[in-house]
């Protein structure tokens, strides 16, 4: 049973436009969420996090939104750049738990 889902395996966006990556979770005990970016042949790189006491967190071009009632979070990248092309993973954890990762979404930013 997948506790963290990323239902879009891939997404293509034009350079300069907004990229929106979605993530859903089923475990109501999750209260801390992370987004990672992964290039081929490299380990995942931490991007941004959010805890359940907030519904939004911004860091430069990256913003994460959390909707606890819907058990849904999203990562917005504005404006998208070709260097953002990568696989994006969301991860969730709760008290005493290790992180559970989603299957990833491959983002392609077209020039």
Partner 1 sequence: KAGVTQTPRYLIKTRGQQVTLSCSPISGHRSVSWYQQTPGQGLQFLFEYFSETQRNKGNFPGRFSGRQFSNSRSEMNVSTLELGDSALYLCASSLGLVWGRLETQYFGPGTRLLVL
Where on the chain is the footprint of partner 1 (CB under 8 A)? 4, 6, 31-32, 34, 36, 41-46, 49, 89, 91, 93-104
The answer to whether the CB of 50 falls within 8 A of the CB of 38 is: no
Nearer CB in complex with partner 1: 41/111 = 41
From the CB of 90, what's the least distance to partner 1, in Å?
9
What's the closest the beta carbon of residue 40 comes to partner 1, in angstroms? 10
From the CB of 96, what's the least distance to partner 1, in Å? Answer: 6
Tokens linked to 4: 């963290």
On the 0-12 / 13-18 / 19+ scale of CB atoms within 10 A, 65 is middle
Look up tokens 């290039």; give the residue: 39
Residue 49 or 108 having the CB closest to partner 1: 49
Q: Which is nearer to partner 1, 15 or 89 (CB)?
A: 89
CA angle 56, 59, 64 (to 5 degrees): 35
């Amino acid at each position: 049973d997948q506790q963290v889902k990323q239902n879009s395996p891939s997404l293509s966006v034009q350079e300069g436009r907004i990229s929106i990556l979605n993530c859903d979770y089923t475990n109501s005990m999750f209260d801390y969420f992370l987004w990672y970016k992964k290039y081929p042949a490299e380990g995942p790189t931490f991007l941004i996090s959010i805890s359940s006491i907030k519904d939004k967190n911004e860091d430069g071009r990256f913003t994460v939104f959390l909707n606890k009632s819907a058990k849904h979070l999203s990562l917005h990248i504005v404006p998208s750049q070709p260097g953002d092309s990568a696989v994006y993973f969301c991860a969730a954890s709760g008290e005493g738990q290790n992180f559970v990762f989603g299957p990833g979404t491959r983002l392609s930013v077209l020039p």
